Amino acid sequence: MSDMLVTLALILGKLLFIFGVVLFMAAYLVLAERKILGRMQLRYGPNRVGPFGLMQPLADVIKLLTKEDFVPARADKWLFLIAPGITAVTALLVFAVIPFGSPLEIFGRQVPLVVVDLNIGVLYFLGVSSMAVYGVVLGGWASNSKYSLLGGVRGLSQMVSYELSLGLSLVPVIMMARSFSLTDIVMAQQSIPFVLLNPVAFGVFFICVLAESNRIPFDLPEAENELVGGFHTEYSGMRFGLFFVGEYINMVVLGSLVTVFFLGGWNGPWLPPLLWFLFKVLAVCAMFIWIRASMPRLRYDQLMNLGWKILLPLSLVNILVTGAVLLGLG
């Protein structure tokens, strides 16, 4: 009985920890992104609220919370109201299977630093992450605005084309690790991370992750220049904020996944595993930001061409080659 209580308490503790850390990181990623983008464009970025603008996320939240929560007259009310939640929640859900540190020794028992170590963690991630598009599509559809609708449709078709390559680029990883569990995948990279063993899979996965996060160069669902705000054109206040936070939570989550699948997870010399993990995730996020500062948005046909004519065949060939090599090595 008490054993179960302790397990429950540990799970709760881990949940709270993840929740806090991920939200904190999402909030400060926004700030970091604005600052880094600013510097890359020879500006300072936000630097007025608090020292170095460090209180900016708080100011943003207060602003968003006090704004009017507006629902357009002909909108599909309920869908419109829950869509932002779907985006944020699905992004958070993925974090359940991500191992963010090597198992700890607490109260004389092994505590894996992951909420649930599912033996089909990869499938869970693929399933849940494709649910995230419902937020975009439903939000776009429920707004009853042409811009939102176009954004939603774009989001959907983009997700369909890239989800395929995303899944396929993970097959070599699974073949190399011989497991669907994310913890085992990290364990398999103890000596050498998969990014060095299979750079092609890493490349395809990284591009698909970019597309998955709806960020430049794949931010067609938003496309400020053509679609005003894309799927969130009609949103205001904290509901817009949820979409926004969802995007950054997604960034953290996808950064963690890149870390887990290819960068060796928490493995690393000298530093504690947790720090290594954090460091790698932040590095991936910094890469996202850098890409955003440097690349233009793809045109729609380019996006589709890249997805179907390059990434998909590439990942298929990669699976064959990886399989052949693994077979050859025995």
Partner 1 sequence: MHVIRGIRGTFQPFWVTLRNMFRKPVTIQYPEEKQQLPERYRARLILTRDPDGAERCVACHLCSAACPVDCISMQATEAEDGRRYAAWFRINFTRCIFCGLCTEACPTLAIQVTADFELAGRDLLKLVYEKEDLLVDHCGNNNSYNFYRQSGIGVAAPRGTNPGETPPADVKDLMP
Of the candidate residues 21, 38, 72, 131, the single one contacting partner 1 (CB under 8 A): 38
For the bound state, the minimum distance from the C-beta of residue 34 to partner 1, rounded and expressed in Å, comes to: 13
Residue with tokens 């974090």: 95
For residue 100, which of 225, 263, 309 has the smallest C-alpha distance? 263
Residue 44, interface with partner 1 (CB under 8 A)?
Answer: yes
Alpha helices for the chain (secondary structure H): 2-40, 56-66, 77-94, 121-142, 146-177, 182-187, 194-197, 199-212, 224-227, 237-261, 273-294, 300-305, 312-329
Nearer to partner 1, 78 or 290 (CB): 290
The answer to the question of residue 77 lying near partner 1 (CB under 8 A) is no
Q: Report if residue 39 touches partner 1, rule: CB under 8 A.
A: yes
| Whole-number Å distance between alpha carbons of 61 and 30 | 12
CA–CA gap between residue 98 and residue 63 (Å, rounded): 32
- Residue 295 engages partner 1 in binding (rule: CB under 8 A): yes
Kindly state whether residue 274 participates in binding partner 1, applying the rule CB under 8 A.
no
51 binds partner 1 (CB under 8 A): no
Give the number of other CB atoms < 10 A from CB of residue 304.
14
Distance of CA 127 to the CA centre of its chain: 13
268 forms part of the interface with partner 1 (CB under 8 A):
no
Judged by CB under 8 A, does residue 299 bind partner 1? no
Considering the rule CB under 8 A, would residue 290 count as an interface residue with partner 1?
Answer: yes
146 binds partner 1 (CB under 8 A): no
Q: Please name the residues in contact with 108: beta carbons below 8 A apart, sequence gap of 6 or more.
A: none
Which range, of 36-44, 58-66, 169-177, 204-212, touches partner 1 by CB under 8 A? 36-44
Beta carbon nearer to partner 1, 43 or 146: 43
Q: Which stretch binds partner 1 (CB under 8 A): 38-46, 63-71, 77-85, 303-311?
A: 38-46
Please report, as ranges, the residues that interact with partner 1 according to CB under 8 A.
36, 38-44, 290-291, 293-295
